[in-house]
Amino acid sequence: MALRTLESLGSLEGKRVIVRCDLNVPLKDGVITDDGRVRASLGTLQALVDQGAKVIVISHLGRPKGEPDPQYSLAPAATRLGQLLGADVALAEDTVGPSAKALVDSLENGQVVVLENLRFNAGETSKDDAERGAFAAELAAFGDAFVSDGFGVVHRKQASVYDLAQLLPSAAGFLVANEVEKLDRVVNDPAKPFTVVLGGSKVSDKLGVIENLLPRVDRLVIGGGMLFTFLKAQGHAVGKSLLEEDQLETVKRYIAEAEERGVELLLPTDIVVAEKFAADAANEVVPADAIESSSFGAEGLGLDIGPDSAKAYAEAIRTSKTVFWNGPMGVFEFEAFAAGTQSVAQALTEVDGLSVVGGGDSAAAIRTLGFADDEFGHVSTGGGASLELIEGKRLPGLEVLGW
């Protein structure tokens, strides 16, 4: 089945269109620290404004407990959205109450309003189908059509993602359609050589990705905290480095399967080992198979891949035609342990083909390290959603849109 896109809804002039965006922006003291998600929603919203639709934006922010909580108000996101659209964007004081109703009723063609945080209503995330459905019905009463454009939540069976799409004529917005197209290409039609780069803290978070992609990739590159479980599986001591003992047998199986399939498995040859987990920790580079040979002995912990590994990883990435990256190579938040992630990110910008950054910590890393999103083929707006799609799972928020 093909994903229903905006065109399938026909002319939307004068129609009330509810758009599920992902305005779940990071805030510090009420100020947005990264407006990437607001910017990502602009394409669809501007297209609807240009068509003369009456646009009702809905989103969540943070994890309020099913009731109003001022610290999770969408006010900063609504203000930023107005600035980027160059228009007045009003924010309702509630989600489906009198303020929302009054704002929706006053909408004129081409205007945009934002309803308050969806998660101020317990029905949004309820596991009870009836409670979720009741909330979705209240939202549906505001609209003539529904556009799903919050990719970061399409893996959730929530009222504004799943139930609402079944109550109104519905379609994917530009952002969701683009995410699905790029990620589907990675899994089902990658140009070769195809390289997958996985990092982050835990192997257990990436099991589904490895299972689904190992039969399809040419190279599998491992970094981050998860690499120490691979090293331990090969019989090497890893000091106090992060380790998932319960995944050792699984990792041994992956190593054997990679060899069997002729997949090039790249593990680090050197590691940056630190005395402790701190930005200013004393550190040194040691061979990956001799981590406890550092000055810190068995107390040392690995916090980044070493310079030789970073070079080898960058070369593997640069010579690929399709690259999917999820998870930093080290503790990039600390400058002393960011070089591996920096090297991988830089190499992704130099790929002659499709380079995909899989959202979450990887997207945060590239921005922290000073890269712009447009330097990459695609930067996903959904960490969990992009991983589940890459794992080959069916996502509720996409299934209801015909995918």
Are 34 and 104 in a shared domain? Answer: yes
Are 108 and 205 in a shared domain? Answer: no
> In the chain, what is the greatest distance between 2 CA atoms, to the nearest angstrom?
71
Domain assignment of residue 367, yes or no? yes
Q: Domain total for the chain?
A: 2
Are 120 and 216 in a shared domain? Answer: no
202 assigned to active site:
yes
Whether the predicted pLDDT of 34 surpasses 90? no
Domain assignment of residue 330, yes or no? yes
199 assigned to active site:
no
Mean pLDDT on 28-48: 93
Question: Token pair of 183, please?
Answer: 């990620």
Domain assignment of residue 184, yes or no? no
Residue 12: closest CA among 58, 44, 38, 59: 44
Residue-wise pLDDT tens digits, 357-376: 987 788 889 988 999 999 99
Are 235 and 269 in a shared domain? Answer: yes
Give the distance, in angstroms, between the CA of residue 319 and the centroid of all CA atoms in the same chain. 25
Contacts of 19 (CB under 8 A, 6+ apart): 41, 44, 45, 48, 55, 56, 57, 58, 146, 147, 149, 173
Rounded CA separation 157/138 (Å)? 17
Are 99 and 227 in a shared domain? Answer: no
239 assigned to active site:
no
Q: Which of 143, 225, 340, 360 is labelled catalytic?
A: 360
Domain assignment of residue 400, yes or no? no
Share of the chain above pLDDT 70, in %: 100
Last residue of a domain, one of 155, 178, 201: 178
Share of the chain above pLDDT 90, in %: 89
Domain assignment of residue 244, yes or no? yes
pLDDT at 364: 85
Are 195 and 341 in a shared domain? Answer: yes
| Residues contributing to the annotated binding site for ATP | 206, 302, 333, 359-362
208 assigned to active site:
no
Residue-wise pLDDT tens digits, 230-265: 999 999 999 999 999 999 999 999 999 999 999 999
Residue 379: closest CA among 355, 351, 350, 403: 355
| Residues contributing to the annotated binding site | 22-24, 37, 60-63, 119, 156, 206, 302, 333, 359-362
Residue-wise pLDDT tens digits, 201-233: 888 888 889 999 999 999 999 999 999 999 999
Q: Which of 4, 37, 54, 182 is labelled catalytic?
A: 37
Domain with residue 301: its CATH number is: 3.40.50.1260
Which domain, by its residues, includes 162?
6-178
Average pLDDT over all residues of the chain: 95
Q: Can you give the pTM of this predicted structure? A: 0.90
pLDDT at 94: 97
Domain assignment of residue 297, yes or no? yes
